[in-house]
Each structure stands twice: as C-alpha cells, then as structure tokens.
Amino acid sequence: MPNVQVGSIIEYTYEITSDFLFNYQGWQFQYDIPVVWSEYRAKFIEYYHYNRDFQGYLAPTINETTRGSQSFTVHTSAEITMNGRQSGSIDTYTAQSSEERLVLQDIPAFIEEPNLTTVRDYISMVNYELEYIDWPGKPIKRVRGNWESVNKEMKDNTYFGGRTKGNLFLNSVVDETISESDSDQEKIEKLFIAISQHMNWDGSNSKYARYNLKQAYDEGKGSSADINLMLVSILNKADVKAEPVLISTRNHGMVKEFKAVTSQFNYVICKASFGDKYVLLDATEKYLGPGVLPERCLNGKGLVISDNGPSWVELSSNVKRQAKVSCLISINDNGELNGNINSAYDGYSALKLRKSYFTKGEESFKEDLMDYAEWNIDSLAFKNASNISESFEQSLTFSNAKNAEAMGSLIYLNPVLMNQINENPYKLEERVYPVSYPSMISKDYYVTFEIPEGYVIDEKPEDTNMMMPNRSAQFVYRIIPMGTDKFAVLCQFKINKTMFVQEEYPYLKAFYAQVVDKMNEQIVLKKS
C-alpha cells in the first residue's frame, strides 16, 4: 500500500458465501481499542427462524427491525432413482422478510482487569442460532436441540460415552485397590488416588477422549477427557454410580443454559455418588484430594450426562488459597534483619507449590526460591510435600535482609516481609463486568520482632480492622507491644466470597487501596 503513514484510514469490504445456515455470521462490536461506530445488519426470510443472543453491558444506539418481502429462486438438483434419472426443478418463492439493524456508537475499549473469567463472556457482540425451518408445504424441521438430545448425543458418542464402557484392563486395578468391605465413599477415594497418581495430565482440555484408554493407561498420560472418563469407568466397575460431567473452564466462558449445544463445553469431570450424596472429581491434579476441583473448573454449572437424563450441578469449592506465615526476626543497629520464617500452605496455594516442587525437583525448587528472595537464605526445608492431606510447610532461616533502613538514631522498618500487596489490581473508574475470583483467599501473617538494645518504638501505624459488607472481604492489621525489646505484627487478608457484582466494585477497589497504603506504612524505632 503506497503512501501509508500514521493516521491513514484503510477501508476494506469482503463477502462470505456459505451454505451453513446454522452458523449465521454474528458480529463483535467491542474491542480492546475504542470504536466510534459499529453497525450490523442481518436479513432473514420467514422460513428460517433464528434465536438472537445479544451480550454485553452496552445498550445499542439503534435497534430496529424493518419488515418487507423477498423473492428468490430455488434450484433442485437432479436425482438418480431406481426408475432412472429425474430432472431437477427451479421454483420461485416470495417470502416475508425482516432486516435487523444494530448500531453501537462511541464504544469504549474493553479493558481487562484481574479476576475475570474470559473477555468473551462480557464484550458486546451478537450471535444467531438457527432454531427451526418452516418451509412451505413441508413439516417444521427443528434444528436447535435441547439438553435431552445433547445427553443422548454424548452418551452415544464413541469418544465420550463409549469410552466409559468396556476397559477390561481396569478390572485388575479395581481388585488391587479396594476390598469387599469398603464403603462406596472409601472406594471413591481409593480409586481416585489410584488413577490420579498413575496418570499424568498432558495439559490439554478436551471433552472427547483422544486415545484408546488402555493405551493412555499404559503410557500413563492423557487429556482431561482421557483421565476423567477412565475414572468414570473404573468407579462403575467397582459398583459405584459414576457419571461424566461436561463443563466449560474459566478461560473458555460461561455456559448459557438456554443454548443447548456441545460447543459450549471443553472439559469433562466425574460425578460419583454414595448414599444420597455425591462428589465431583477431577483426577488430572494429583496434588488435590478427592472432591476438590481445580480452580480452572470453578465456572458456573456442569451438565451431568446420565442414563436417567441430563441434570445440572454447581461447580463450586469451599477450598481457599490459604497461607499462614509466622516469623521470629531480630533487628540490629544497622537495620539488618536476621531470623526464621515458617510458612504453611493449604488448598490451591499448596497445589501451586507442590506442582512446582515436583516438576522442578527439590534442588531446583530451592534454587529458584533463593534466587527470588530479597535476602540471604541460610537454610531451607520442606515438609509434607507428598502428603496432600496436610499443609505444605516451608521453613527457612535468613540473614542480611534489607527491609529496614538505619538513619542516625532512627531505624525505619516495613514489617510486612511476605504476602505484601504493593499495588491495587483494580484501576478502572467503573468496571461494567463482575469481579470473579477463582476461589476464596485467606492470608495470615504473624511476625515477632526483637529490636536492638536501647531502641524503642517511636512511631507505628494505627491498628486497622476493615470489613466490606457481610464480611465479604476483611483486613486486620495490629501492632502488639511485647515488653521493652519486642513487638509483634499481625496482618490478616481475606476474600470470603468469589463473586463481586459491578455495584460492589468501587468498594472493593477502595478496600484494596487502603490495604496497599497500610502495608506500605513504616514503623520507626528510635534510640533512647
């Protein structure tokens, strides 16, 4: 393109010709840059009935429908029958038509902030889905399915329902793993551990099995579908009622229950029942216990594929990202810190560390921690790395930390050495989509400081106990004197629910702003 320069405007037009009537072309109005004007027109004839799905938080500037008529010809190709070749036909029709016009003007850029499922859930766009065809002189042909038809489709699919049948090789695994006296709940736990510990997830999300399950088991790896359909199969062999559950991961988008299509799903987990209870299982994560779904799966509802017909289950978890840190630290006259730190991680925080620990190996894991630390680590040890029913514990001793600064007779100290929130993640004036945390958060920090001889606390931050309505978020900060030569700092940060609607955003943003300010406040020690 000759003479293209900054500020040039490029206009182009293209045409798509398609006979895929089901996939009527939709339109995206909003992008990550501002749009001055975006217009979409769609014209339909009365024989094809489409369902319109408009999403996003921006109202159309223009939303109008014009009625009219449309004449067209239909060419029917020749057919060869038992009696010989039949000639084709050309027929002319005149049908009622409707043209929809949607315009959005001065569209702001969609700015992505943290704790968002996927941009596709919230940007302004319109899509159409063919519901039924009502051609003159012919019976109505319903195209859009329902969840019953989806249930049957998936049950009959060779790479889904078919993969939960047969699998005779799993009989020996059942015999080696459980005993006749085990309850259904014990069977579920033991067989879950057997599959999750034997299989390695290859990182791919899939609702269809990619391999023959015998091959996947022999190789010890597979997709989410390979592993979890295998889990369904082995539980059924142990006379436990287990069913596959179709889900959409957080980065794939929310499932719309009014839209019965399998393309909404990209992942499968397992539902196992015992008595009048059930548990949801995902054996791709060997460092999460039975009944704890990975954070990527915590996204709305899942569709249970069952011989009894489809049903929905909530994809939620009471497990948190949880960390508890306790420290004993001494400060010398030069402002250097020395001491020990003991940390205990549970839930999704422990999962992240365990995956890194076993992927890298202990020595490489240690080296990375030492390289990342802002102080000299003199010793470093771990506990319960393999025992997922216990906290993943880390203990270290350090020296020469520079978190304090000595200036004459004063020492300035920021007492929050770990789990510090240095920056507010929420910066928009207005967020038009909700804040969706994968899981709840709990961070507890308790440190005891031994101050140099002859020093006293001259200035300290005020104690704080902040709470959002209904205790949905909480922050506690306290300075606790302990005689003349010690003091303690208690810092607790909690997010107690996973979904904050748009109206709560200003309060959540202000909450984080106060947390950042408080965590950056210093204690001043003065030589008396």
Kindly list the distances between the CA atom of residue 473 and the CA atoms of 72, 210, 330, in Å, as whole numbers in the listed order.
62, 43, 32
Instruction: Quote the crossing angle between the two packed helices 224-237 and 170-177, to the nearest 10°.
Output: 60
Eight-class DSSP state of 494: E
Can you tell me the mean pLDDT for 151-161? 96
User: What is the pLDDT at residue 351?
Assistant: 96
Kindly list the distances between the CA atom of residue 129 and the CA atoms of 52, 153, 390, 433, 490, in Å, as whole numbers in the listed order.
7, 19, 49, 25, 56
Amino acid at 345: Y
Q: Is 82 a residue whose pLDDT tops 60?
A: no
Average per-residue pLDDT for the chain: 93
Which of residues 227 and 51 earns the better pLDDT score?
Answer: 227
Instruction: Quote the crossing angle between the two packed helices 184-198 and 170-177, to the nearest 10°.
Output: 120
Kindly list the distances between the CA atom of residue 198 and the CA atoms of 239, 354, 388, in Å, as whole numbers in the listed order.
21, 17, 16
d(CA 329, CA 450): 6
d(CA 213, CA 211): 6
- Taking phi first (over 0 means left), then psi (-120 to 50 degrees means alpha), and beta for anything else, what does residue 404 get? beta
d(CA 250, CA 261): 18
User: What is the pLDDT at residue 484?
Assistant: 85
- Longest CA pairwise span in the chain (Å): 114
User: What is the pLDDT at residue 18?
Assistant: 85
Q: Which of these, 416, 419, 445, 421, lies nearest to 512 by C-alpha position? A: 421
DSSP 270-281: EEEEETTEEEEE
pLDDT digits (tens, 9 = 90+) for 278-296: 999 999 999 998 999 999 9
CB 4 within 8 A of CB 125: no
**3-class secondary structure, 515:** helix
User: What is the pLDDT at residue 1?
Assistant: 81
Q: Is 520 a residue whose pLDDT tops 60?
A: yes
Which residues of 198-254 form beta strands (DSSP E)? 200-201, 221-222, 242-247
Which residue do the tokens 């037009």 mark?
13
Q: Which of these, 438, 394, 288, 284, lies nearest to 351 by C-alpha position? A: 288
Q: Which of these, 506, 438, 451, 461, lies nearest to 483 by C-alpha position? A: 451
Tokens of 269: 């987990």
**3-class secondary structure, 308:** coil
Give percent of the chain with pLDDT exceeding 70: 98
pTM for this structure?
0.89
CA-atom Rg of the chain in angstroms: 31
Which of residues 333 and 225 earns the better pLDDT score?
Answer: 225
Can you tell me the mean pLDDT for 309-327? 96
d(CA 311, CA 222): 27
206-223 burial, b at 16+ Cβ within 10 Å, e below that, comes to: bbbbbbebeebbeeebbb
Q: Is 33 a residue whose pLDDT tops 90?
A: yes
Contacts of 507 (CB under 8 A, 6+ apart): 468, 469
Following CA atoms 15, 18, 23, 29 in sequence, which dihedral angle do they give, to the nearest 10 degrees? 0
Q: Is 316 a residue whose pLDDT tops 70?
A: yes
Q: Is 80 a residue whose pLDDT tops 80?
A: no
Which residues of 347-498 form beta strands (DSSP E)? 376-383, 392-401, 404-407, 410-413, 435-436, 440-450, 455-459, 464-467, 473-481, 486-495
